[in-house]
Structure 1
Amino acid sequence: MITTNIPKLRQFYKIKAILFLSLIISTSSCAQLLQIVEQTPLSDLKLSQLDISNGLKGALDKGVEKQVTKLTAIDGFLQNELVKIVLPEELQIIDTKLRQIGLSSLADEGIKVLNRAAEDAVKEATPIFTDAIKNLTFSDAKNILMGNNTAATTYLESSTSTALYSKFNPVIQNSFEKVGATKVWSNIISKYNKIPFVKKVNPNLTDYTTRKTMDGVFKMIAVEELSIRTTLNSRSTPILKKVFALQDNR
Structure 2
Amino acid sequence: MRKLHILTLGLLFTFFSSCDTVNQIAGQMGLGTPTDAEINSGLKQALELGTGYASERLAQEDGYLGNQLIKITFPEEAKKIENTLRSIGLGSLCDQVITSVNRAAEDAAIEAKPIFVAAIKEMTIQDVKNILLGADNAATVYFEGKTTSQLEGKFEPIISNSLDKVGATKYWGDVINRYNQVPLVTKVNPDLSAYVTQKAIDGLFYEIAKEELKIRENVAARSTVLLQKVFGYADSQQTGS
TM-score by length of 2: 0.83
Deviations 1:80-104 (A, max 9, x none): 0121111221110011011100111
SS in 2 for 1:249: helix
Q: Which has the larger radius of gyration?
A: 1
> Where does residue 80 of structure 1 map in the other structure?
67
Query: Mapping of 1:1-250 within 5 angstroms?
Result: 45-250=32-237
Deviations 1:118-142 (A, max 9, x none): 1111121111111011112110110
Structure 2: distance between partners of 1:120 and 1:76:
10
> Where does residue 8 of structure 2 map in the other structure?
none
RMSD in angstroms over aligned alpha carbons?
1.2
Higher RCO (C-alpha 8 Å, min separation 6)? 2
Amino acid at match of 2:205: F
> Where does residue 5 of structure 1 map in the other structure?
none
Structure 1 residue 156: Cα displacement: 1.4
Structure 2: distance between partners of 1:47 and 1:56:
11
Structure 1: distance between partners of 2:136 and 2:55:
18
Structure 1: distance between partners of 2:156 and 2:196:
8
Structure 1: distance between partners of 2:236 and 2:206:
26
Structure 1: distance between partners of 2:201 and 2:226:
29
Structure 2: distance between partners of 1:49 and 1:73:
36
| Number of aligned positions between the proteins | 207
Structure 2: distance between partners of 1:191 and 1:91:
13
Amino acid at match of 1:144: I
Runs of 4+ in 1 over 4 A off after TM superposition: none
> Where does residue 19 of structure 1 map in the other structure?
none
Deviations 1:167-200 (A, max 9, x none): 1111111111111111111111111111122111
Is the contact between residue 33 and residue 229 of structure 2 (CA under 8 Å) also seen in structure 1? no
Amino acid at match of 1:97: T
